[in-house]
């Protein structure tokens, strides 16, 4: 039985593609890490299902939308929780994170250099409330789950990866963002020190986000 061929197409950054790259690497699955620059993107846009990236191509068939891709790979490789209820909770936390990204977006766009604005004002009025709202929920869930290094269940899920990588980006723009969330910090520490993940982090192209 032959393994499927996987290609993940995304911009050169981490962003919406990183969690899927990480799962492919963690599972030991060879994949084409197809990074398309902003300059080249217009040439490729029409060949994607929704005119957007990331896109996962599995044996030539495309799947769009970052969380659909992540959940598909998580289910293939065992990173989606061990029961339907656990999977539902992984999904719920991921969607709560997605809502948060919509809330914090005005700050991050300026912080990343994609727009003009008062970064300090936005940090105070937009970023900090959004961070507090999400991370209070994450801290509570992490504790309820037994402070075992995971948000859900007792093994790695894609929401552990999603939050951990984001924290690495966010703290460069919001210093001390996570001091009130020690259990979440612990999850990030445990997740990012997994040898196979550390291997990926050490070899991946260095990008600010």
Applying CB under 8 A, which part among 80-88, 115-123, 173-181, 196-204 lies near another protein?
Answer: 80-88
For residue 84, count CB atoms less than 10 angstroms from its CB and return exposed for 0-12, middle for 13-18, buried for 19 or more: exposed
Q: Using DSSP, how many helices (H) and how many strands (E) does the chain show?
A: 9, 4
Shortest Å, Cβ 138 to another protein? 10
The span from the CA of 159 to the CA of 151, in Å, is: 7
Peptide bond into 54 cis (omega under 30): yes
Query: Binding residue for another protein (CB under 8 A) from 7, 13, 34, 63?
Result: 63
Q: Which is nearer to another protein, 84 or 205 (CB)?
A: 84
Query: Binding residue for another protein (CB under 8 A) from 34, 65, 185, 192?
Result: 65
Binding mask 21-60 for another protein (x = CB under 8 A): ----------------------------xxx------x--
**Interface with another protein includes 180 (CB under 8 A)?**
no
Q: Which residue in 73, 37, 69 sits closest to 55, CA to CA?
A: 69
> Which two tokens mark 109?
């766009």
Shortest Å, Cβ 87 to another protein? 7
The span from the CA of 41 to the CA of 22, in Å, is: 23
Please report, as ranges, the residues that interact with another protein according to CB under 8 A.
49-51, 58, 61, 63-69, 71-72, 75-76, 84-85, 87-89, 91-92, 95-96, 98, 102, 137, 141
């Amino acid at each position: 039985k032959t393994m499927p061929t996987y290609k993940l197409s995304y911009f050169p950054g981490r962003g919406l593609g990183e969690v899927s790259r990480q799962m492919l690497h963690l599972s030991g699955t060879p994949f084409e890490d197809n990074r398309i620059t902003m300059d080249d993107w217009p040439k490729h846009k029409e060949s994607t299902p929704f005119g957007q990236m990331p896109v996962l191509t599995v044996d030539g068939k495309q799947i769009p939308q970052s969380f659909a891709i992540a959940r598909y790979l998580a289910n293939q490789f065992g990173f989606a929780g061990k029961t339907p209820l656990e999977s539902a909770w992984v999904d719920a936390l991921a969607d709560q994170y997605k809502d948060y990204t919509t809330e914090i977006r005005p700050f991050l766009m300026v912080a990343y250099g994609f727009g003009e604005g008062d970064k300090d004002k936005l940090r105070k009025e937009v970023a900090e409330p959004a961070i507090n709202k999400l991370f209070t929920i994450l801290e509570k869930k992490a504790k309820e789950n037994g402070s075992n290094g995971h948000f859900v269940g007792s093994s790695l899920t894609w929401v552990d990866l999603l939050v951990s990588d984001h924290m690495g980006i966010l703290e460069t723009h919001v210093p001390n963002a996570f001091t009130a969330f020690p259990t979440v910090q612990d999850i990030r520490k445990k997740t990012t020190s997994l040898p196979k993940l550390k291997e990926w982090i050490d070899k991946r192209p260095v990008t600010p986000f």
